[in-house]
Structure 1
Amino acid sequence: MEAGQLIGIARRKRSRAPMEELQSAAVTVAAGVQGDFRGAVRPGRVPRRQVSLLAAEDWLAALYDLRLAEGERPRWLARRANLLVEGLRLPRDKGSVIAIGQSLRIAVTMECDPCSRMDEVVPGLMAALLPDWRGGVLGTVLTDGAIAVGDEIRIEQ
């Protein structure tokens, strides 16, 4: 089974709020990444965007396409994703299950389409993130888990 590593965790309290980088977090069915405004499940709703994941390799490929000098490259937090992974190609299929650490399981619901906000970060970034799901994936939490930077990440199905 292919495995990668969780190299970043982040959350934001509300839309357009700055991202807060964490070393560890609880991720739950009820709230997604604890403290992140997108994770909370509203009564009667089925979440589709509870947790967002980004592959470091995809982020770097998009920045490379923009021909940015190393000092001009924005950090991954500019993408506004919750989890940054390395060494693993994120699944491109709805329903795929991503396992992180001992117990966290996330079901992929859709591609995380880049929005025009990315062009506020760097002109052309939105288009650079469009090919081959470079913007990452969105998912819902299937089982709760405590995660930390350095945890193993695997695709289970």
Structure 2
Amino acid sequence: MAFPSFSDEKSVVARLLATLPQTGRVEWIGVRPARRQPLLSVPEVEALTDAHLTGDHARPKPGGRRQVTLIQHEHLASVAGFLGLPEPVEPGRLRRNLSISGLNLLALKNRRVRIGEQVVLEITGECHPCSRMEEELGPGGYNAMRGHGGLTARILQGGQIRVGDAVQVLQEK
């Protein structure tokens, strides 16, 4: 009996990592008009190529890795559970721009996604919680968010993002 070689094992893992047939959905959009201000929930927003979301105070440098932040919508209930809250945490309290359901966001690191008809994001890394979570969620907020902080992304192609838009993983070239 022949055992698979290390290179065969790597190709199996690569194939598994590339298998993301699901389509997600934008559940919530938020922008922060000024530093340290609450996020405003909006039904749609314009994503500016290699820049930021209109209405958001953040102005990252072109090529920046944190032009948009995303959070896993399903994690809102988990964070609430860790804090003993009866209802899911409102997405704006977690200071992320987009709440996405139906896709495991962590599986998208270093991948590209299309939102709606036009917008293409490159998922650039994890968005770890900061000490502001203690202010917003109370004692234990930081630890409740660990592993649930979401992801950062760069806007490769701008356009409109609307609540309800599909989020599709683009195939790697």
Listed as ranges, the matches of 1:22-33 within 5 Å are 22-33=42-53
When the two chains are superposed, the root-mean-square deviation of aligned CA atoms in Å is 1.7
Candidates 120, 128, 131, aligned match of 2:144: 128
Q: TM-score, normalised by structure 2?
A: 0.80
Long gaps (5+) in structure 1: none
Candidates 134, 138, 144, aligned match of 1:119: 134
Listed as ranges, the matches of 1:90-105 within 5 Å are 90-92=105-107, 94-105=109-120
Listed as ranges, the matches of 1:1-157 within 5 Å are 1-38=21-58, 40-42=59-61, 46-70=63-87, 74-92=89-107, 94-122=109-137, 123-131=139-147, 134-157=148-171
Q: Which has the larger radius of gyration?
A: 2
Q: CA deviation at 1:116?
A: 0.8
**Aligned pairs, how many?**
150
What letter is aligned with 1:22? V
Structure with the bigger percentage of strand:
1
SS at match of 1:33: coil
Distance 2:154 2:29 in 1: 16
Q: TM-score, normalised by structure 1?
A: 0.87
- Identity value in percent: 31
Q: Is the 8 A contact 1:92 1:111 kept in 2?
A: no
